[in-house]
Amino acid sequence: MIVSRRWLEALLGRSLVAREVAERLTMTCAAVEAVVPVHQDLGDVLVGQVLETKPHPNADRLTLCLVDAGGVGGPLEVVCGAPNVQAGRKYPFAPVGATLPGGVKLERRKIRGVESNGMLLSARELGLGPDHAGILELDTPAAPGTRFLDAVPVADDQLVLDVPANRPDLLCHKGVAREVAAVLGGTVKLPEIPGGKAVGRSGGPSDRPAVRQSDRGVVDGVEIRLEDPEGCPRYIAAVIRGVRVGKSPEWLAARLAAVGQRAINNVVDATNYVLFELNQPLHAFDLARLRGPAVVIRRAKSNEPITTLDGVARKLTAEMTAICDAERPTIVAGVMGSAESEVSEKTTDLVLECAYFQPTRIRRTRRALGLTSESSYRFERGIDLLGMPDAMRRAIDLIVAVAGGELREAPLDLWPKPEQSRSVFLRPARVSHLLGVEVPRGDIERVLSAIGFVAAPKDERLAVQVPGWRPDVTREADLIEEVARLRGYDVLPDDLRPYRPGTVPDAPALRARSRVRDQLVRAGMLEARTLPLGAPDGPDAVEIRNPLSAEHAHLRARLLPGLVRRVEYNWAGTVRDLRLFEVGTVFKRGKGAPEEWTSVAGVLTGAQRPLHWSAKVPDMDLWDLKYHFELAVQVASPGALVQPLPTGVGWQAVVGEQRVGWAGPLEADAPRWAGALFGFEVRLSEVAPARPAYRPLPATPSVVRDVALVLPGGVTAAAVGEALRRAGGTLLESLEVFDEYRGPKLKGGERGVAWRLTFRDPARTLREAEVDQVIMTALKALEEELDVRRRES
């Protein structure tokens, strides 16, 4: 909502400093996002009076003017190109050295051989309007040399107010002025309408009409039928005859311009003025085009056509309320009228509508039509149901003042089920209870009454009458907020007090995520985050029903595809060495809601270590993959076994029969210079790995033996290791593979694998002979079971 500082000043009858207003509103009401100065860039412009004119010696269309701009040096000679320049008149004048809107600094220069000591300005040059046909004539008593801004009140500030969805009252100047008055002082009073008849506030036909608890009536020959009181609980109509539709007076156009609205014609501008002043959307339509003449407020028929003001042919549904004449819809209620019924230059008699439309009805309608207007925005949030007659009166006064015409009959106010203003009980003790400080009852009453609530004591409580413009206030907590914000949140202390610890245990799921992240970071991997939205990954992929785009229409089922895309992205940036991992949520279709769980995935490519001068660094290979996979599985799925894939190159992690992890080489769109790409993915379990148990440190020496073996084809290192372990019994502390040989010294299919075995007896020093004996036994077993023999050196 754009708020004009000048408009607020008019409502409050006092001057305001925009910055101060912004600051106070932000701290007590709603955030002011920006303060935009309007026309304050005209500070160098003066009022100039043309004393005499004569033709330019060298140009037919130019005039030489003698201008009095109040300067001590006397009148100045100025060249002017405008056809409307006349001696004796006053115009905006920019002297040499003045800065004009847009930041241009005016210099003295010769125009067709004659020096010009300044410039007379058009509306467009001042940024005041599109008019550039001539210079702007000023009708002002101000003396020549007066600052233009002091003579013509156009300088303003726009306050850009971020109005929350629950505060429709802040969508108009009166509502904002009310808040300003509550914190800065002042009384809100509607300004006099310039040129309006100084009619008293009673007795005129526009005065508050009697409410009719009926759904139909006639006003000045026009029949009004309220057939949809659910969609439109209250409808006030007036007929104004004999208006002259035309241009709005300056002041009205200026008011609207101040809030960024374009002037259209005096009738429409008057209704817009009331919209921005009182938050009451109004609609004026041409009585001559109204068949009947009747106004029927009813549910639209399914597929009923209407061409809205924006020129689009639309179809209505039975869920929408339409304002119709005797035959067909002329307005989509609360949203937009039709071109056909709109007020035009030819209109003389009009019907003025002041209605309350049910907020959710309007919301559904505008969403269904994809059509939002200033009116629908306000109806959707709830306008002041009780303030409608006042808004109607203001609108009538305004239209009559700016467009003429006559109200022959009081407006018709149809309100089949009138409502009283709501009362909410407030316990003053509860205010202190919730805010944590004592708030005196007097403070509560004062603060509430400052913004239009009426508080009356009732037992230990206050019965607080809620004004119609505050549909958001329905219970005690809402009133406590009013008290708290208007006193200011900053007055409350912020000292930490003792608290009771909570009953919720720290989430195991987050601990599991941290464990695996830390594990992979220690292994030199960088954490990535990939978008969970993408192309479908498998038949169980969860589809998004209303995606932003076709390529982001599914939820990911795995992390690896996303990570591969990130590798390609990095490759595109010519980065070759990559170790990325992600811990994230993945989804698959389930019964009802999708199933989701946490997954861990990593990708590896490029050098094993950063480049170093001391040695050539090899690229990551399958064995780096296996190491990282095992690291991840250890903490992500404690107890899972890593084993070779049944087919193909790679590994899987299994818990019982279930595969919980996969690792292997990956395909990608790789540049020629890229290394091989490997990846793994493991389902994250919330179970923590077993706590390590302390084993006493060895007090006896170990015996280390290297054993080189020849393995026939098909015998795995795992099988040999298993046999060694069995034979080694408790004395074999550890075994590691430290070499592999394939080559001409062995028969085809065979390979040599060397193990380093460490033996130890924790209780005593082992004798070499014992170890030899164990190794002999092991070799024998290996030969018998696996046909593995010792390799001759």
Partner 1 sequence: MSDLLAALNALRERLTEVPQADERRLRELKTEILGRKAGALTHILAAVPSLEPKDRKAVGGVANALKRDFETAFAARERELKRASVAAGDLDLTMPGRAGWQGGLHLVTQVVDEICEIFRELGFTRAVGPEAESERNNFYALNFPHDHPALDAQDSFYVGDGVVLRTHTSPVQIRTLEAYPPPIRVVIPGQVYRRDPFDPSHSPVFEQIEGLVVDEGVTFVDLKAALTAFARRFFTSDTTVRFRPSYFPFTEPSAEMDVRCQICKGSGCPTCKQSGWMEILGSGMVHPAVLDNCGVDSERYTGYAFGMGPERIAMNRYGVSDIRLFWEDDVRFLSQFARPHR
Q: Which of 74, 311, 493, 743 binds partner 1 (CB under 8 A)?
A: 493
Nearest to 760 by CA among 736, 735, 781: 735
Supply the minimum distance, in Å, between the C-beta of residue 543 and partner 1. Answer: 7
| Distance from chain centroid for Cα 761 | 69
31 scored as a contact of partner 1 (CB under 8 A): yes
Contacts 24+ apart (CB under 8 A), 647-654: 649/622, 651/626, 653/629, 653/682
Query: Any residues with CB less than 8 A from the CB of 53 and at least 6 apart, and which?
Result: 63, 64, 65, 66, 80, 85, 86, 87
575 scored as a contact of partner 1 (CB under 8 A): yes
Of 20 and 787, nearer to partner 1 (C-beta) is 20
Supply the minimum distance, in Å, between the C-beta of residue 129 and partner 1. Answer: 29
Beta strands 406-407 and 234-241: pairing type? antiparallel
580 scored as a contact of partner 1 (CB under 8 A): yes
| DSSP 8-state symbol, 168 | G
Of 408-447, binders to partner 1 (CB under 8 A) are 433-437
Of 225 and 556, nearer to partner 1 (C-beta) is 556
As to burial, measured by CB atoms within 10 angstroms (0-12 exposed, 13-18 middle, 19+ buried), residue 502 is: exposed
Q: What span, in angstroms and rounded, lies between the C-alpha atoms of 643 and 629?
A: 11
528 scored as a contact of partner 1 (CB under 8 A): yes
Q: Which of 58, 307, 514, 734 binds partner 1 (CB under 8 A)?
A: 514
Of 329 and 584, nearer to partner 1 (C-beta) is 584
| Distance from chain centroid for Cα 632 | 38
103 scored as a contact of partner 1 (CB under 8 A): no
230 scored as a contact of partner 1 (CB under 8 A): no
489 scored as a contact of partner 1 (CB under 8 A): yes
Q: Which of 201, 346, 497, 672 binds partner 1 (CB under 8 A)?
A: 497
Supply the minimum distance, in Å, between the C-beta of residue 546 and partner 1. Answer: 6
Q: 164 φ, ψ to 5°?
A: -70, 160
496 scored as a contact of partner 1 (CB under 8 A): yes
Q: Which of 117, 375, 530, 634 binds partner 1 (CB under 8 A)?
A: 530
Would you state the structure tokens that stand for residue 682, as one six-digit string?
Answer: 């493991």
Q: Which of 339, 509, 687, 737 binds partner 1 (CB under 8 A)?
A: 509
Considering only 9-17, 275-283, 310-318, 521-529, which stretch makes contact with partner 1 by CB under 8 A?
Answer: 521-529
Supply the minimum distance, in Å, between the C-beta of residue 768 and partner 1. Answer: 13
SS3 content of the chain, % helix, strand, coil (to 5): 30, 30, 45
Of 468-487, binders to partner 1 (CB under 8 A) are 475-478, 480-481, 484-485
Q: What span, in angstroms and rounded, lies between the C-alpha atoms of 366 and 351?
A: 24
Of 623-682, binders to partner 1 (CB under 8 A) are none
- Are 405 and 220 within 8 A, CB to CB? no
| DSSP 8-state symbol, 99 | B
Nearest to 322 by CA among 299, 289, 353, 294: 299
Count of beta carbons in the 10 Å neighbourhood of residue 736: 10
Alpha helix (H) residue ranges in 539-597 = 560-572
Instruction: Return the bridge partners of 175, or none.
Output: none
Of 203-222, binders to partner 1 (CB under 8 A) are none
Q: Which of 60, 230, 494, 657 binds partner 1 (CB under 8 A)?
A: 494
Amino acid at 120: L
17 scored as a contact of partner 1 (CB under 8 A): no
769 scored as a contact of partner 1 (CB under 8 A): no
- In the shown chain, the binding pattern of residues 132 to 151 toward partner 1, with x for contact by CB under 8 A and - for none, equals --------------------
| DSSP 8-state symbol, 129 | -
H helix or E strand, kind and range, residue 789: strand 789-790
706 scored as a contact of partner 1 (CB under 8 A): no
Q: What span, in angstroms and rounded, lies between the C-alpha atoms of 123 and 132?
A: 6
158 scored as a contact of partner 1 (CB under 8 A): no
616 scored as a contact of partner 1 (CB under 8 A): no
Supply the minimum distance, in Å, between the C-beta of residue 296 and partner 1. Answer: 25
Q: What span, in angstroms and rounded, lies between the C-alpha atoms of 271 and 264?
A: 11
Q: Which of 141, 370, 501, 656 binds partner 1 (CB under 8 A)?
A: 501
Residues contacting partner 1: total by CB under 8 A: 96
Of 213 and 514, nearer to partner 1 (C-beta) is 514
Considering only 88-96, 489-497, 674-682, 701-709, which stretch makes contact with partner 1 by CB under 8 A?
Answer: 489-497
535 scored as a contact of partner 1 (CB under 8 A): no
Of 502 and 656, nearer to partner 1 (C-beta) is 502
Of 540-569, binders to partner 1 (CB under 8 A) are 542-548, 552, 555, 566, 569
DSSP per-residue letters across 31-87 = -EEEEEEESGGGTT-EEEEEEEEEEETTEEEEEEEEEE-S-TT--EEEEE--TT--T
527 scored as a contact of partner 1 (CB under 8 A): yes
Of 212 and 363, nearer to partner 1 (C-beta) is 363
683 scored as a contact of partner 1 (CB under 8 A): no
Q: Which of 201, 262, 346, 500 binds partner 1 (CB under 8 A)?
A: 500
